[in-house]
């Protein structure tokens, strides 16, 4: 076949421990790359031969090079490459066919924290980070696993460490998702904490557990339910509203009007996972309609292909989207048939 090609790459310097980490147990990492890109990979010591469609071969070589860089020893210990790292690297090179402007743009919006550089994994994430940096209010809307909250927390930590803001405020509505709060053990704080755990987890990764605890004690970082925002004016702050699909219209308006001078707000959510009581309108859905034409506010919409978790997550999202689209068409046809009869 004219479009099939084999290319070799030598990974230098040759190091048996790093090569073993790259390949994974029983070559599991290599097999994962082969499945995702549709190529065949053979290797002997540090020489890797990739065979397949020319575009996939080039992508495969890029993945191998990037993963080998990831194996560089830290404090004398070789870094282990697990399936998640392989998946993230594959997600990056899946955009190799994008134009050069997209790739350069993604490099220009890296976020630096003390724990390292947080970089967008695809052009949509890069645009999202750029909008966070350039707008006072930014919406990130899309399915789970697209990095909406993680990148927002990274941008907040970066702004705090550069002293652009004085505090970080993380909030989300404490909406019951099938379980009743009253049946959870403990006082109100202990009941609410599980709802805020994803925000804590991102902070711990960026700053470390001890520093986060110190900053929380000093009120430099505040993590609280959305209801606690009423009546406040938030100046010199980076505010993140997570799971905003579970706000009511009134709550969303209340939150947006809390923003004071030298403050920035990021609102994240997934309009397909609303846990509000039946009949209640989502404040996130409403804000898209009301604020869509306001120039100072940016909206970023993520798709299933932007998911940077386990590859099956993207397929799950796509399956739900396809099913819901079929259901919408059936309802529309049924409604049209009823109107024709009348």
pLDDT digits (tens, 9 = 90+) for 35-83: 777 788 999 999 999 988 788 888 899 999 999 999 998 878 888 898 8
Token pair in block for residue 47: 């020489």
Across 235-247, average pLDDT: 93
Strand order, beta sheet including 47-53: 4-10, 47-53, 40-44
- 């743009």: which residue's tokens? 105
In 3-state terms, what secondary structure has residue 9? strand
Asked if 296 contacts 135 with a C-beta cutoff of 8 angstroms, the reply is: yes
pLDDT at 140: 93
d(CA 43, CA 41): 7
Exposed, middle or buried: residue 200 (CB in 10 Å: 0-12, 13-18, 19+)? middle
The closest alpha carbon to 274, from 265, 285, 266, belongs to: 285
pLDDT at 137: 94
Per-residue pLDDT band at 341 (split at 50, 70, 90): confident
- 């860089």: which residue's tokens? 69
Residue 133: pLDDT over 90: no
Instruction: Identify the residue with better confidence: 46 or 223.
Output: 46
Per-residue pLDDT band at 19 (split at 50, 70, 90): very high
- What are the pLDDT digits (tens) for 298-326? 999 888 777 766 667 667 767 877 887 78
Q: Is 39 left (phi over 0), alpha (psi -120 to 50) or beta?
A: beta
Per-residue pLDDT band at 200 (split at 50, 70, 90): confident
Residue 225: pLDDT over 50: yes
Instruction: Identify the residue with better confidence: 141 or 223.
Output: 141
Across 129-135, average pLDDT: 89
pLDDT at 99: 43
- What are the pLDDT digits (tens) for 159-198? 998 888 999 999 988 764 444 444 445 554 555 666 677 7
Exposed, middle or buried: residue 290 (CB in 10 Å: 0-12, 13-18, 19+)? middle
Per-residue pLDDT band at 231 (split at 50, 70, 90): confident
pLDDT at 177: 44
pLDDT at 107: 47
Q: Where are the beta strands (DSSP E) in 45-109?
A: 47-53
Residue 104: pLDDT over 60: no
d(CA 65, CA 19): 11
Whole-model pTM? 0.63
pLDDT at 186: 54
- Which of the given ranges, 28-32, 180-184, 253-257, has the highest pLDDT on average? 253-257
pLDDT at 319: 81
């Amino acid at each position: 076949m004219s479009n099939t090609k084999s290319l070799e790459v030598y990974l230098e310097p040759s190091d048996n421990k790093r090569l073993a980490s790259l390949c994974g147990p029983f070559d599991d990492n290599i097999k994962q790359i082969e499945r995702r890109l549709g190529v065949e990979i053979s290797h002997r010591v540090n020489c890797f031969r990739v065979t397949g469609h020319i575009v996939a071969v080039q992508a495969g070589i890029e993945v191998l090079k990037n993963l080998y860089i990831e194996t560089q020893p830290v404090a004398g210990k070789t870094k282990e490459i697990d399936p998640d790292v392989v998946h993230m690297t594959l997600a990056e090179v899946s955009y190799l066919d994008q134009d050069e402007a997209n790739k350069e743009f993604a490099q220009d919006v890296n976020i630096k924290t003390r724990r390292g550089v947080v970089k967008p994994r695809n052009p949509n994430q890069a645009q999202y980070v750029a909008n966070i940096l350039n707008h006072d209010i930014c919406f990130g809307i899309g399915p789970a696993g697209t990095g909406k909250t993680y990148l927002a927390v990274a941008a907040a930590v970066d702004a705090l460490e550069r002293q652009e803001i004085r505090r970080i405020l993380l909030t989300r509505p404490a909406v019951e998702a099938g379980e009743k709060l009253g049946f959870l053990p403990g006082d109100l704080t202990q009941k609410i904490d599980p709802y805020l755990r994803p925000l804590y987890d991102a902070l711990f990764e960026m700053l470390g557990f001890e520093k986060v605890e110190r900053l929380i004690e000093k009120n430099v970082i505040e993590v609280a339910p959305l209801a606690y925002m009423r009546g406040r004016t938030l100046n010199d702050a980076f505010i993140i509203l997570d799971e905003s699909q579970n706000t009511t219209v009134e709550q969303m308006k209340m939150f947006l009007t809390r923003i004071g001078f030298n403050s920035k707000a990021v609102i994240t959510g997934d309009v397909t996972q609303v846990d509000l009581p039946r009949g209640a309108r989502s404040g996130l859905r409403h804000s898209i309609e009301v604020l869509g034409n306001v120039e100072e506010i940016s909206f970023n919409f993520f798709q299933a292909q932007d998911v940077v978790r386990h590859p099956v997550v993207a397929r799950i999202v796509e399956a739900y989207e396809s099913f819901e689209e079929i259901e919408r068409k059936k309802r529309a046809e049924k409604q049209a048939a009823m109107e024709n009869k009348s």
